Amino acid sequence: MYNYTLITGSSSGIGYELAKVFAEYGHHLILVARSESVLNELALELHREYKVEVKVIPADLSQEKEVYRIFDICRENEWHVESLVNNAGVGDNEGFANSDWRKQKQMMAVNMDALVHLTHMFLPDIMQISRGGVLNVASTAAFQAGPFMAVYYATKAFVLSFSEALNEELRGTGVHVTTLCPGPTASGFQKTAGLEHAKLFQMMRVPSSREVARYGYKSFRLGRSVAIHGWLNRLGVQLLRISPRALIVRLVRLLQAK
Ligand SMILES: NC(=O)c1ccc[n+]([C@@H]2O[C@H](COP(=O)([O-])OP(=O)(O)OC[C@H]3O[C@@H](n4cnc5c(N)ncnc54)[C@H](OP(=O)(O)O)[C@@H]3O)[C@@H](O)[C@H]2O)c1
């Protein structure tokens, strides 16, 4: 009987690379995303290369019944989840008034509802195994409001607040929650979020998903509460604390207006 790390959004970008890093360090995996063929290929590759067990659950995390189904499949097959990586996320670089409501709703469902729901279902088992924890992927977007990505930034502020609070609740249990906050990172996100020409991605060197994933894994293993990737991002977050909010929100507007 194996213990597994379940990683959502492992078909692309940071989640794909997180799956590789966890496998490299000997973790058995359950891969979750909608792109079944990509997950199957990755599962074969990781099994061949690192000799770990890799299961695949294709699922749409914007659907509540699919989120329940993930838990049921793990239960029925006795795949014990010792660590949960809530990485799946979507963005949308669009003015709110003209945005597609279905997209906004899906964003909230994937970025917040599924993350909290999966954590709620798997946490009792994780606490019983008491070796692993939860790695939630937020963003540096969590630290300020984001005009033209208003809902996305708000979902990430939610993830950060929820995860930090839960980590403190779990103090002394042997289980911890790490919140990974990447800044702009090269992945499929730019395209799906409509950020391909955004100034934010052109102003500085954008790290690869692999770099961010390795940092995330290390921070998780060290039991860090909040892990902001890159010294420039860490500096930026510190400056936010002492800068007027009205000024910051204007600045983000300039960076994200199309
Ligand atoms: N890239 C950045 O600049 C950046 C910066 C800060 C934070 N982040 C965060 O990092 C995380 C990973 O994003 P990424 O940059 O690696 O983007 P990505 O390459 O677009 O990957 C997103 C992943 O989420 C999955 N996903 C999206 N909608 C889903 C749904 N309805 N059901 C199941 N899975 C779904 C996708 O899989 P399928 O399409 O196969 O379902 C994919 O595997 C996200 O939470 C994102 O907000 C990214």
Q: What pLDDT digit, counting tens, does each position of 77-105 carry?
A: 999 999 999 999 999 999 999 999 999 99
- Decide if 152 is catalytic: yes
| Catalytic position from the list 4, 16, 152, 215 | 152
- Confidence bin at 129 (pLDDT 50/70/90): confident
54-63, 173-182, 187-196, 199-208, range with the lowest pLDDT: 199-208
In the structure encoding, which two tokens stand for residue 220, read together?
């998780």
- Residue 91 CA to residue 101 CA, distance in Å, equals 13
230 Cβ below 6 A of ligand 1: no
Q: What is the 3-state secondary structure (H, E, C) of 110-141?
A: HHHHHHHHHHHHHHHHHHHHCCCEEEEECCHH
**Nearest ligand 1 atom to alpha carbon 206:** 3
Q: Is the pLDDT of residue 130 over 80?
A: no
Q: What is the pLDDT of residues 223-233, one digit of tens each?
A: 999 999 999 99
- Mutating to test ligand 1, I would choose from 149, 178, 189, 192 the residue with most ligand atoms within 8 A of its C-beta, which is 189
Q: Is the pLDDT of residue 76 over 90?
A: yes
CA 220 from chain centre, in angstroms, equals: 13
For domain 3-256, the CATH architecture is 3-Layer(aba) Sandwich (3.40)
Q: Is the pLDDT of residue 235 over 80?
A: yes
- Residue 16 CA to residue 10 CA, distance in Å, equals 4
Percent of the chain with pLDDT over 90: 90
146 Cβ below 6 A of ligand 1: no
In the structure encoding, which two tokens stand for residue 151, read together?
């809902």
60 Cβ below 6 A of ligand 1: yes
Helix, strand, coil percentages, rounded to 5, for the chain: 55, 15, 30
How much is the pTM?
0.97
Determine the pLDDT at residue 257: 84
Determine the pLDDT at residue 62: 98
Query: Shortest CA distance to 74 belongs to which of 56, 61, 53?
Result: 56
Please give the average per-residue pLDDT across 148-160, as a whole number: 98
- For tokens 């838990």, the residue is 71
Please give the average per-residue pLDDT across 161-180, as a whole number: 97
Determine the pLDDT at residue 258: 78
